Homo-oligomer: A and B are copies of this chain.
Amino acid sequence: MSDPIRVGLLGLGTVGQGVVRVLQRNAEEIARRAGRPIVISRASARDPNKARDCDLSQVAIEADPMRVVTADDVDLVVELIGGETPAFVLIGEAIRRGKPVVTANKALVAERGNELFELARGAGTMIAYEAAVAGGIPIIKSIREGLAANRVLSVVGIINGTCNYILTQMSLRGIDFGTALTEAQQLGYAEADPTFDVEGVDAAHKLTILASIAFGIPLAFERVACEGIARIQSQDIELAKALGYRIKHLGVAKRGMDGVELRVQPTLIADDQLLAKVDGVLNAIVVHGDAVGRTGYYGRGAGGEATASAVIADLVDAVRSLDTPPQHRVPYLAFQPDAIAPMEVLPLEKIESAYYLRVCVADEPGVLRSITSILAELDISVEAIIQKEPRAAEDAVVAIITSVVQEARFNEACARIEALPSVRSGFSRLRVEHFDS
């Protein structure tokens, strides 16, 4: 067996410690697969002396990550610092030195991946990023290589575990968003500052990457329509249930006649769909290819060792590809760099879907007729409706599932319904995602 490959690890947080543990624990099996041992020679951490849940006795620890990147005894760099600064500079330096890079940095890949891959291409080296999307699920490899025969029609997924955990708790226990968020923070499933997760930014980063490898388009984070889950109320979850649906925070990348949809939104899914049954911190992704039909992938989307699993899979790939000419490697974004071409991203107004609409109305005759008349005038059918009996002194609540309609037309309907004198302030609308076939 050849000499060990020596890895420089930037970042010793949860994932970094997971990488150290799994590489040590499974050293023999990993070497049997990779054909040579993979060892961590150096690592960086802001506080080198902090106690950590892994054995670092054979690892030189640096406070300055650049010293890891430039060290002679580092053949390959794993970047687990996250964020743009200093990750971009560190990866750039590794690339210039011809050292392959494995990263779990979804923000960096989604926002500056086009630049990074161009740099790497120029230097003839690799950047691998399986861990950036859906933790331990090998979804990048599955789409990029496993489904290479297909014209990908759509990628739909639950790709933020924090949102899924919160929505699952709200659904199971009837608690409100704020309570569920606080609990998630206490359990470590949500950050102290949860903005990135609950506002959908994290999911939008991941969707950006999935859309690029699915459709062969450049990474276009700024084009993803992004909405979080903060406005979801318990009553929406209950009404959706009564109508046969679950509310999930979905990333959707879909190919249409006139362009692609790229959106991250809380969405209703019929409760007999497998995605509707993916609960807690699990992630799941359904890819629709023209040849294969729908294939689904689920697993832990976060956590130290689950993410480490993806990082190390990339390491094994990288070890195999060392000294391999670039044309023999899998292209960074699934398609050969010269074959990547932008596609029109549809504005939300042009996207068609069914809708869930919840309206609070005064408990008086004719209200339902007014609402359904507006819908009918705009050629929107009511596919399902539920009205809860008002309790004493309360307004009545009506929830409707509509037929498939272009958002612009549905906006018009909503504006007219909201303007009705008997409609109260509680008004909510969500997309419904249908999986035909």
Chain A interfacial positions (CB closer than 8 Å to B)? 18, 22-23, 25-26, 29-35, 130, 135-138, 141-142, 145-151, 216, 274, 277-278, 289-300, 303, 305-306, 308-313, 315-317, 320-324, 327-331, 334-336, 339
Chain B: minimal CB distance from A336 (Å)? 5
Complex CA gap A336/B309 in Å reads: 19
Q: A130 vs B18: C-alpha distance in the bound complex, in angstroms?
A: 30
Residue from B290, B316, B339 within 8 A of A32 (CB atoms): B339
The CA of A354 and the CA of B159, in the complex, are separated in Å by 34
CB of A148, distance to nearest CB on chain B (Å): 4
B293 contacts A306, C-beta separation under 8 Å: yes
Partner of A290, one of B25, B292, B334: B25
CA distance A141 to B317 in the complex (A): 12
| Chain B residues with CB under 8 A of A142 | 138, 141-142, 146
Interface contact B309-A320, CB-CB below 8 Å:
no
Do A138 and B145 touch (CB < 8 A)? yes
B300 touches A292 (CB 8 A): yes
CA distance A236 to B295 in the complex (A): 30
Q: Provide a sorted-by-A list of 8 A–B residue pairs whose CB atoms are within 8 angstroms.
A: A22-B150, A25-B290, A32-B336, A32-B339, A274-B298, A292-B299, A292-B305, A295-B297
Q: Is the CB of B277 within 8 A of A289?
A: no
Contact among B138, B216, B303, B322 with A29 in the assembled complex (CB-CB below 8 Å) = B216
Residues of B within 8 A of A299 (CB): 292-296
Shortest Cβ-Cβ A-B pairs, 6 listed: A138-B146, A149-B312, A295-B299, A136-B292, A32-B339, A292-B309
Q: Given A32-B216, A142-B141, A324-B328, do A149 and B316 touch, yes or no (CB 8 Å)?
A: yes
CB contact between A335 and one of B32, B130, B136, B313 (< 8 Å): that residue? B32
Q: Once the chains are docked, how many angstroms separate the CA of A33 from the CA of B135?
A: 24
Q: Are B138 and A147 in contact (CB under 8 A)?
A: yes
In the assembly, what is the distance between CA of A148 and CA of B294, in Å? Answer: 25
* Nearest Cβ on chain B to A306's Cβ, whole angstroms: 5
Q: How far is the CA of A110 from the CA of B331 in the complex (A)?
A: 32
Beta-carbon contact of A297 and B297 below 8 Å: yes
> What B residues does A18 contact at CB under 8 A?
291
Q: Are A323 and B316 in contact (CB under 8 A)?
A: no
Is the Cβ of A297 less than 8 Å from the Cβ of B296?
Answer: yes
In contact, B331 and A33 (Cβ under 8 angstroms): yes
Which residue in chain B gives the minimum CB-CB distance to A278?
Answer: B274
Residue of B nearest to A322 (CB): B328
Taking each of A18, A148, A277, A293, which has the highest tally of chain B beta carbons within 10 Å of its own beta carbon? A148
Q: How far does the Cβ of A204 sit from chain B's closest Cβ, in whole Å?
A: 23
Q: A142-B138, A151-B26 are in contact. Are A292 and B306 (CB under 8 A)?
A: yes
Q: Which residues of B contact A292 (CB under 8 A)?
A: 135-136, 299-300, 305-306, 309-310
**C-alpha gap A332/B337 in the complex (Å):** 28
Q: Indicate whether A291 sits within 8 Å of B305 (C-beta atoms), given known contacts A34-B148, A149-B26, A328-B320.
A: yes
Question: For residue A294, which residues in chain B have a CB less than 8 angstroms away from its CB?
Answer: 299-300
Could you tell me if B295 and A296 are in contact, using CB atoms closer than 8 angstroms? Answer: no
- Once bound together, how far apart are the Cα atoms of A22 and B294, in whole Å? 16
Q: Among B137, B274, B317, which residue has its beta carbon within 8 angstroms of that of A295? A: B137
Q: A313 — nearest CB in chain B belongs to which residue?
A: B148
C-alpha spacing A31/B338, complex, angstroms: 12
